[in-house]
Amino acid sequence: MSALTIDREGEIAVATLDNPPVNAISAEVRRALWEAVETFDADPEIRAVVLVCAGRSFIAGADVKEFGLPPVAPHLPDLVARIEAAAKPWTAAIHGAALGGGLEIALGCRFRLIDAEARVGFPEVGLGVIPGASGTVRTPRLAGVEAAVEMVTSGKPVPAPEALRLGLVDAMVTGDLRGAAVSYAASMIGGPLPEPVSARPVETRPDSYWAESRARLEKSGETAPLRALEAVRKATELPFDEAMAFERATFLALRDSPEAAALRHVFFAERAALRPAALKGVAPRGIGSVGVVGGGTMGAGIAAAFRMAGMPVTLIERDAGAAARAHAAVSRIFEGAAARGKLTGAEAGALSDGLVCTDDHAALGHVDLAIEAVFEDLAVKRAVFDDLARVCRPDAILATNTSYLDPRCLAEGMPAPERLIGLHFFSPAHVMKLLEIVPLPGTAPEVLATAFDLARRLGKMPVRAGICEGFIGNRILKRYRAAAEDLLAEGVPVAGVDAAMRGFGFRMGPFEAQDLGGLDIAFLQREAARAEGRDVPETLADILVRAGRKGQKTGGGWYDYPEGGRRPVASDAVARLLADRIAGGEVPAPEAIAERLVGAMADEGAAILSEGIAETAAQIDLVEIHGYGFPRAKGGPMHWTGRG
């Protein structure tokens, strides 16, 4: 069945595109649209055309699945030009989203109507490319240079009212979009047509404008936004056809780049992560209210995350004073968001008001989900779990936020094991996207499905993790840190390792990151394991912590931080402390350092995969990107090393 159905409404042909799930433009869709233009042009009874889409959205863009394949005619820029040159004027009726190639098709139409709830945009830079079918060339002719630059370099979609204000669309519709588009198209029959967008004039801008825009974009370190800027500049300085040729060549070159391949890998991995195949058809439970036990940094962040997703939260602390402090800590998160303009003062107030902090466990009697986020100690956590089993409804889901403990030990002998699960948030929990979901042997499928559904509602990236020390993320972190210490032992300076990883694309290197978070947490874990009689070799970090160097909070860790500042300075004290563990040697190039450390991450990832702790290499990549700052444009350690 063709993706395009044709209906007639008097002299108007209504072409309905139906290519689920998001009407992406595949080769078949391009062919069908091309044939439709030819057919309508040849039909004397048709005087105008309306293009609408079935399903939840107008066209969401070119079919990203085809990006790895050779381009097949008719090519999208030619199709857009063919629609624009049609003898019968086309009207695009946009609902949901018109993105990338979808918006480009709309720009080829003579008229554009938009549903008031819809949005339009060019998200291509997020895939490491630029618009490739006239987005950079037609948009400045319609919406002006500044708006075009903002849209194609940021990738952010604009809502319907803004699209109308910018002149990207001709009218905004509330209600029956198809009917409105047919009436609109009919009303234009016989009248003078507006010039096609390609024939409209475009303003130029001085060199200084382009230099400033470039300087602003260079900070991100990404290639595609800079290339998108160049393409808009060409659109203002060259004739239409030459600007189109530049845009197309740039699009094709970027499409074949390793960066774009990595970003496509992440794009599909992220979408697959939200809907695990194993849970297809398993209905999640509705979660209307949440309890959190523990109001420290982690508990407060978790409570804030649930409040921001609109769920009422009850937080339990050990006494009334601690409960009041926890309430203040969570409220500060909302106030901070309001100060940064992310929330209004009233919204921040409402979020605080929906949080109850108390020392009375019985207050959790009504919640659908309770999460313990207390101190990382088996006995303490087990006592909390026992309390929860006592006070919560028998069907409430009970979750542990443990990062290192074995949740099976925590749950041992508890009644109703089907409702127990691990939900491992990352600090700060209201910011970090990663959520490791750790099913226990007895966890019911619908409890697991509920965890994935919750992740979606919280705007988190869920990854299912099997049980082992550190699950996926912290296990790889341990290996990464050990490999970084190996480099120090071979004579690479601390700052040399950090600079190499920043050069690779991390915001911070492994040592400065430890100084920020504190060296003592991992140290205490190693000490606890040693106390249990396990063989945990002395790390270089242990030597620093024993000397009182726990990171920025103690004025020094791997670096010195003079006068309580945050600027790291190479430390003579560290050099002295580690002197007899460090051999002199040839210092590898930064690229070789990064290759070695990312290789270590991937080696651990491969072990994790072979043990079934992670289901796919792509999920390991998501853990590193969303939990540990791995550069998205490199696709994650498994992808980058060719193992994913």
Active site residues: 104, 124
Beta strands 119-121; 97-99: pairing state: parallel
Using rule CB under 6 A, residue 147 touches ligand 3H9: no
212-271: contacts with ligand 3H9 (CB under 6 A): 268, 271
Using rule CB under 6 A, residue 101 touches ligand 3H9: yes
- In the complex, minimum distance from the CB of residue 22 to ligand 3H9, in angstroms, rounded to a whole number: 4
Query: Could you please report the per-residue DSSP string of 333-355?
Result: HHHHHHHTTSS-HHHHHHHHHTE
Question: How far, in whole angstroms, is CA 460 from its chain's centroid?
Answer: 8
- What CA–CA distance (Å, rounded) separates 36 from 612? 50
Kindly tell me which of 61 and 568 has the beta carbon lying closer to ligand 3H9: 61
18-47: contacts with ligand 3H9 (CB under 6 A): 21-22, 24
Which of 53, 83, 84, 104 lies at the binding interface for ligand 3H9 (CB under 6 A)? 104
Residue 327's contacts (CB-CB under 8 Å, 6 or more residues apart) are 295, 315, 352, 355, 357
Kindly tell me which of 129 and 451 has the beta carbon lying closer to ligand 3H9: 129
- What CA–CA distance (Å, rounded) separates 599 from 345? 47
The residue assigned the tokens 């003078």 is 192
CA angle 144, 145, 147 (to 5 degrees): 70
Kindly tell me which of 133 and 463 has the beta carbon lying closer to ligand 3H9: 133
- In the complex, minimum distance from the CB of residue 247 to ligand 3H9, in angstroms, rounded to a whole number: 9
Using rule CB under 6 A, residue 65 touches ligand 3H9: yes
- In the complex, minimum distance from the CB of residue 23 to ligand 3H9, in angstroms, rounded to a whole number: 9
Point out which span in 98-106, 177-185, 496-504, 563-571 binds ligand 3H9 (CB under 6 A): 98-106
Q: In the numeric block, which tokens belong to residue 31?
A: 């062919």
Using rule CB under 6 A, residue 631 touches ligand 3H9: no
Point out which span in 54-62, 341-349, 388-396, 567-575 binds ligand 3H9 (CB under 6 A): 54-62
Question: How far, in whole angstroms, is CA 189 from its chain's centroid?
Answer: 45
Cβ count near 42 (within 10 Å) = 10
- In the complex, minimum distance from the CB of residue 86 to ligand 3H9, in angstroms, rounded to a whole number: 20
Instruction: Report whether 142 contacts 167 (CB < 8 A).
Output: yes
Using rule CB under 6 A, residue 124 touches ligand 3H9: yes
- In the complex, minimum distance from the CB of residue 229 to ligand 3H9, in angstroms, rounded to a whole number: 16
- In the complex, minimum distance from the CB of residue 76 to ligand 3H9, in angstroms, rounded to a whole number: 4
CA dist 328 to 299, 313, 337, 346, 492, Å? 13, 14, 14, 16, 44
Which of 14, 94, 97, 578 lies at the binding interface for ligand 3H9 (CB under 6 A)? 97
Using rule CB under 6 A, residue 621 touches ligand 3H9: no
73-92: contacts with ligand 3H9 (CB under 6 A): 76
Which of 128, 135, 295, 637 lies at the binding interface for ligand 3H9 (CB under 6 A)? 135
Which of 127, 169, 217, 302 lies at the binding interface for ligand 3H9 (CB under 6 A)? 127
DSSP class of residue 311 equals -
Which of 108, 128, 131, 422 lies at the binding interface for ligand 3H9 (CB under 6 A)? 131
- What CA–CA distance (Å, rounded) separates 590 from 75? 42
3-state secondary structure of 637: helix
Kindly tell me which of 98 and 420 has the beta carbon lying closer to ligand 3H9: 98
Cβ count near 577 (within 10 Å) = 16
Which of 29, 51, 52, 60 lies at the binding interface for ligand 3H9 (CB under 6 A)? 60
- In the complex, minimum distance from the CB of residue 224 to ligand 3H9, in angstroms, rounded to a whole number: 11
Q: Within 423-492, where are the H helices?
A: 445-458, 473-489
Closest-CA residue to 106 (of 341, 375, 115): 115
Instruction: Report whether 132 contacts 76 (CB < 8 A).
Output: yes
Per rule CB under 6 A, count of chain residues that contact ligand 3H9? 27
Instruction: Report whether 399 contacts 455 (CB < 8 A).
Output: no
Residues that bind ligand 3H9 (CB under 6 A): 21-22, 24, 57, 60-65, 76, 97, 99-101, 104, 123-124, 127, 131-133, 135, 268, 271-272, 275
